[in-house]
Structure 1
Amino acid sequence: MSMANFRRQSQLYSKHLDSANSQMCSSLEATYQALYTEFLAKSRHNDIPNSTADRVRLRALIDQTRSDLETCSESATRVQISKVLELQESLLAPIRTLPSDILTEIFQLVIETSSNPGITWKPTKISGRIFLLTWICFSWRDEALSYSAFWSTIAVVHDVPPGVPPSPTEMTALLNECIMRSGVSVPMRIRIFSYSSTDESLPAVIPMLVAQAHRWRQAALSFRYLHQIKSLFPFKPSSSHFPLLEDLSFQFRDYAHVDPGQNPILECHPPLQKLGLSLLLESYADVISSRSLKVLKLDRYRGVSLARLLRMCPRLESLTLRSFESTGNPKASKTIYRSSLLTLDIGGDYDNDNKVEYGAWNSVMLPKLIKLEVTLPDLIDHQDWEMAFEARTSLSKLREVIKQSKCALQHVNLIMYVADYKKWPQLTLGTANKFFEDLPVKAEGSFVENKLLAEWKEDLESTIRL
């Protein structure tokens, strides 16, 4: 046979094979379209093989599907076969046989590890990982819907400017359905962030959450004006309104022409263990009087000293204070109060010139203090450094109180934000040395900007040399 005839015969044979393969793939495509519909329904309903015989038959089907995938050359048909193979193999996945309680624990981890745990409502959409879990299959959906705690963490974020039409009715109805899924007795975690400038522009969904106040265990509320929250809680103060509330953070951004007192939630005296406030007046400190409060975070505190505040909360273990504004003569109070405070974090309020004025520590003793963190602002010149050390943060007075209290500090961290260490190296080093001078803390517990003091000094010297 000549070479030309051989090539011609080879081409005819190749075309015959291609034609046969094409016919086979066409037949397979119809078969696997039907199989895809069948196994998709099985996957959605978690119709897994329960007997040994059923599992053997399914594994045989999987082997046949893999064989067809290897022999088929049509790309569209291969895609269809691959989808069926994935569905068939998923029916044998161990996760489909997990007990309900273990599956619930996994769901809980998936939801809690999200950057925004729970459900987030916005005027144009509602989102949350819990919805993704309900879309996998019917059994997962039933599991997610039947566990009320999955629906008990709700955030409302309202950042629509005034004049914009209200959110669609279906968005409000959807959130109401989520609240109903959370049950009637499961404790709730609530977050409300509203940037509206008027009460009229507040979303209608907020009163729906307020109606569940008796179930609130944790709440983070942020409004532009204080009076907006008062309009949402028109009831008279009563301990029955927030019987479960243990963790409350309340912030408002505009301090102009407002009375920072009269907080309707605090006046109900919930059993708080953690509390965060934008502003607290010493004259209003009685309202947070509690033997259960352990953690207090204040952006601003206005008063004569911290003595009265600490007296109102005798079991307070941690205090964060960004700004103290003196309102009177610090020598007016002569009663020494010995606080059970363990952790103190002060400074860092740049909007208020980092003022923790002299007098904050008057009449205060801290015999149990073991952890201290102080934040200094980014300062410009030598004079500002001295003002910060001596007056604005009242560090000299605080150091004096610590030594008089005879406490044994275990961890001290000084935060100094300096734009250019090369410009003020000696001043920066001198401030750190002055701060730690005679403090009752060991070298292994002394830190600057979260670095051991000795390592920080070495890094500073290396920066200076460069």
Structure 2
Amino acid sequence: MDSIESFSELAQRIISGVEALAQKIVVYDDGPILERLQQGDFAETPALPTEVDPFIQVAISAEYDRHIALLEEAFRKLKSAKDDFKRSVDLRLSLLAPIRHLPEDILVEIFSHFIQDGGTRQGSEERTYSLTLSKKHRIFSPSFTLSCVCSFWRRVVFSRPIFWSSFSLDLGGLRAFEGESKMTAILSQCLSRSANAPLSLHLKLDSADHALDSGNLLSLFIGQAARWEWLDLPDYRSISRFISQLQSGGQPPIFSSLRHLNLGEGRRSEMTLSLLPIVLSASHLETLSTGRCGFTWSDFCQCDFSSLKKLKASTLSNGTVGQFLSRLPSLEVCILTSTSGFTTDSKPSSASYSSNLRCLSIRLEDSLVGAWQSLRTPHLLRLFLEARDGTEESHIESVSSMLVRSKSVLQELTLFNIYAHEALNFINAHPSVTDIILSGSYESVDDNRYPGDLFSRLSFPKEENTVVLAPNLRSLTIQIQGSITDSDGSSTLDSHIFLAQNIVKMVKSRTDEESLPPDATVLQKFTLRLMSRHEEVFGHIRRSLAHLVASGLQLELDQYLVTYSALQDL
């Protein structure tokens, strides 16, 4: 045989040999015997005994099986050799891959995107955490995946503290694991790789007694409290245990690097907790969401919130709004989910408190009218105002009057669950507004509710010397909750068309440049949202405003409603 015979030539020789072997296996032609049996004749006895001797046939079959098994083993070795060849090629291609020639800093940038996309998103801010401890995934991290590729990548990943600085930990799930000490050891090693990098933590604790074994793991992270930059405690029930853990040691931890603190809302029936153990030493906070944890005015005065830019709070008490915000010189966004704890100014003529607020969101309850007396917001641009059931008109007027005294130049205004005439009065007091979102319940019997005379009042009047509401309006969104009915409570085509006609008239009056009042702005966008689909309303509006849409008007007609919390993000 030629010593330089190629693989394909040798393979062809083997194939030919296998075909020759197949020809050596004689297959009996049993057709004639089957045909005679079908005709009722008995088959003749073969002339040669070997043709029917079962012992001889079994021996021949066994001989075939033995040699075929040897061939199969030979082919298995051949396939194994081929697999080894492929692995060696893949390894060589990997070693010679262009990515290995990338500078390490570029590789780190690529890894950062991979970890960001593959991490766990948690919390109200939808932050990405690179390492997760959960009941479902146990311990998971995209960094683990990267470190398994090769020693070079492992060295890069292990040497970058930023890849090991964000943890989402469900410590209540430790009871589902076998060997809490092993989990603690793994997380301790991961935490050590973060070196001195700022830490981001999303913690869920179990307040039950059977979860006390997670204390060692929690203590591990509390020991690094000085490096915490972001802390998210979404489960209100676990906050009390967390605070107890903070106070269990001799020296309370100092959160010198904490910039962002977000706490869960919980239920109103649950006890209000004090935040002092956490925030007393956190003098660089930039965002704070208190959840159901409370702040009295006396506690608030003990804290340094000079760097706070965003506050979401529900239980501020024993002080006026102006007093609280006066201690927040850097505050730009304030979300008050409850106003029931505020008090009125003891001296109506007391000095005012100016704030740098740009965005203010208020959920009005049974607060005192005088709580807003001393606040001044000259830089306010966005206001979100929701009236809870039972909110009196004087409460809404007190907020509007505060803005007038502040000489605020509002640009965006959202009024939620407010009667139509109250909304119109608010809009009239602030002519600078350019974007308005109004949401209320439809009630044709009571003009105080939506839509009332909302659309006719928002239409530009043709008569001179008539008050023009919202002369700078560019975008208007109307949400109508409930069914569109007549005064007798029935839902008819007439009631639907009447609503559509009023909307069309209002939009046309604000988009006709030739008939606009002096210095008035053309409406650029109109959005209507209804609780259920009303094709009569939508169809009439589309047909009537088609020429304006062709000229550039943005028209959106939707059948879903947006919640107040979602409106804050619009």
Give the superposition deviation at 1:130: 1.4
Aligned with 1:429 (options 441, 451, 475)? 451
Give the superposition deviation at 1:459: 7.3
1:260 aligns with 2:273: yes
- Residue 372 of structure 2 is matched in structure 1 by 361
- Residue 395 of structure 1 is matched in structure 2 by 396
Aligned with 1:465 (options 534, 537, 541)? 537
- Residue 117 of structure 1 is matched in structure 2 by 129
Cα distance in 2, alignment partners of residues 390 and 149 from structure 1: 52
Give the superposition deviation at 1:339: 1.2
1:440–1:173: structure 2 CA closer, same or farther, 3 Å change rule?
Answer: farther
1:243 aligns with 2:273: no
Spell out the pairing of 1:431-446 with structure 2 (5 A cutoff): 442-444=472-474
SS in 2 for 1:374: strand
Aligned with 2:199 (options 171, 185, 188)? 188
Task: Tell me if the contact between 2:416 and 2:439 (Cα under 8 Å) persists in the aligned partners.
Answer: no
Task: Tell me if the contact between 1:411 and 1:447 (Cα under 8 Å) persists in the aligned partners.
Answer: no
Task: Tell me if the contact between 1:123 and 1:167 (Cα under 8 Å) persists in the aligned partners.
Answer: no
Cα distance in 2, alignment partners of residues 177 and 425 from structure 1: 66
Cα distance in 2, alignment partners of residues 318 and 88 from structure 1: 56
Cα distance in 1, alignment partners of residues 104 and 85 from structure 2: 29
Spell out the pairing of 1:295-310 with structure 2 (5 A cutoff): 295-310=310-325
Spell out the pairing of 1:31-46 with structure 2 (5 A cutoff): 31-37=81-87, 39=88
SS in 2 for 1:264: helix
SS in 1 for 2:290: strand
Give the superposition deviation at 1:180: 1.2
- Residue 336 of structure 1 is matched in structure 2 by 352
| One-letter code aligned to 1:94 | P
SS in 2 for 1:345: strand
Spell out the pairing of 1:152-191 with structure 2 (5 A cutoff): 152-160=165-173, 168-183=180-195, 185-191=196-202
Cα distance in 1, alignment partners of residues 441 and 535 from structure 2: 10
Cα distance in 1, alignment partners of residues 271 and 401 from structure 2: 36
1:462–1:395: structure 2 CA closer, same or farther, 3 Å change rule?
Answer: farther
1:405 aligns with 2:406: yes
After superposition, what is the alpha-carbon deviation per residue over 1:90-129, rounded to whole angstroms, capped at 9, x for unaligned? 4444323211111111111222233342111136711121
Task: Tell me if the contact between 2:336 and 2:362 (Cα under 8 Å) persists in the aligned partners.
Answer: yes
TM-score by length of 1: 0.69
Cα distance in 1, alignment partners of residues 278 and 457 from structure 2: 40
Task: Tell me if the contact between 2:283 and 2:303 (Cα under 8 Å) persists in the aligned partners.
Answer: no
Cα distance in 1, alignment partners of residues 179 and 472 from structure 2: 58
1:117–1:203: structure 2 CA closer, same or farther, 3 Å change rule?
Answer: same
Task: Tell me if the contact between 1:325 and 1:357 (Cα under 8 Å) persists in the aligned partners.
Answer: yes
After superposition, what is the alpha-carbon deviation per residue over 1:249-290, rounded to whole angstroms, capped at 9, x for unaligned? 233636657453352121214311111102333322213342
1:148–1:269: structure 2 CA closer, same or farther, 3 Å change rule?
Answer: closer
Cα distance in 2, alignment partners of residues 431 and 324 from structure 1: 30
Cα distance in 2, alignment partners of residues 143 and 454 from structure 1: 51
- Residue 79 of structure 1 is matched in structure 2 by none
- Residue 99 of structure 2 is matched in structure 1 by 95
Cα distance in 2, alignment partners of residues 200 and 246 from structure 1: 29
Cα distance in 2, alignment partners of residues 189 and 444 from structure 1: 41
- Residue 62 of structure 1 is matched in structure 2 by none
1:215–1:155: structure 2 CA closer, same or farther, 3 Å change rule?
Answer: same
- Residue 44 of structure 1 is matched in structure 2 by none
Task: Tell me if the contact between 2:320 and 2:344 (Cα under 8 Å) persists in the aligned partners.
Answer: no
Identical-residue share of aligned pairs (%): 23
Task: Tell me if the contact between 2:172 and 2:214 (Cα under 8 Å) persists in the aligned partners.
Answer: no
- Residue 305 of structure 2 is matched in structure 1 by 290
- Residue 77 of structure 1 is matched in structure 2 by none
Cα distance in 2, alignment partners of residues 218 and 302 from structure 1: 26
SS in 1 for 2:383: strand
| One-letter code aligned to 2:400 | R
1:233–1:443: structure 2 CA closer, same or farther, 3 Å change rule?
Answer: same
Give the superposition deviation at 1:89: 4.5
1:413–1:111: structure 2 CA closer, same or farther, 3 Å change rule?
Answer: farther
The unaligned stretches of length 5 or more in structure 2 are: 1-12, 21-70, 122-127, 418-437, 459-466, 480-522, 539-570
After superposition, what is the alpha-carbon deviation per residue over 1:12-69, rounded to whole angstroms, capped at 9, x for unaligned? x9x849859x9997675243232245x2xxxxxxxxxxxxxxxxxxxxxxxxxxxxxx
SS in 2 for 1:456: strand
Cα distance in 2, alignment partners of residues 28 and 367 from structure 1: 83
| One-letter code aligned to 1:291 | S
- Residue 203 of structure 1 is matched in structure 2 by 214
1:372 aligns with 2:394: no
Cα distance in 1, alignment partners of residues 275 and 472 from structure 2: 44
After superposition, what is the alpha-carbon deviation per residue over 1:418-461, rounded to whole angstroms, capped at 9, x for unaligned? 79859899733349779999987831265556xx8961359799
Task: Tell me if the contact between 1:358 and 1:397 (Cα under 8 Å) persists in the aligned partners.
Answer: no
Cα distance in 1, alignment partners of residues 135 and 529 from structure 2: 53
1:306–1:317: structure 2 CA closer, same or farther, 3 Å change rule?
Answer: same
1:165–1:355: structure 2 CA closer, same or farther, 3 Å change rule?
Answer: farther
Q: Tell me how large the CA RMSD over aligned residues is.
A: 4.2
- Residue 455 of structure 1 is matched in structure 2 by 526
Aligned with 1:144 (options 147, 157, 164)? 157
Give the superposition deviation at 1:197: 3.9
Cα distance in 2, alignment partners of residues 434 and 338 from structure 1: 37
Cα distance in 1, alignment partners of residues 239 and 347 from structure 2: 31
- Residue 332 of structure 2 is matched in structure 1 by 317
Cα distance in 2, alignment partners of residues 168 and 439 from structure 1: 65
1:242–1:199: structure 2 CA closer, same or farther, 3 Å change rule?
Answer: farther
Cα distance in 1, alignment partners of residues 154 and 290 from structure 2: 39
SS in 1 for 2:474: helix
After superposition, what is the alpha-carbon deviation per residue over 1:218-244, rounded to whole angstroms, capped at 9, x for unaligned? 111244155322222125787x82221
Task: Tell me if the contact between 1:216 and 1:244 (Cα under 8 Å) persists in the aligned partners.
Answer: yes
Task: Tell me if the contact between 2:280 and 2:304 (Cα under 8 Å) persists in the aligned partners.
Answer: no
Task: Tell me if the contact between 2:228 and 2:258 (Cα under 8 Å) persists in the aligned partners.
Answer: yes
TM-score by length of 2: 0.58
Cα distance in 2, alignment partners of residues 328 and 154 from structure 1: 40
Give the superposition deviation at 1:143: 1.1
1:442–1:419: structure 2 CA closer, same or farther, 3 Å change rule?
Answer: closer
| One-letter code aligned to 2:225 | A
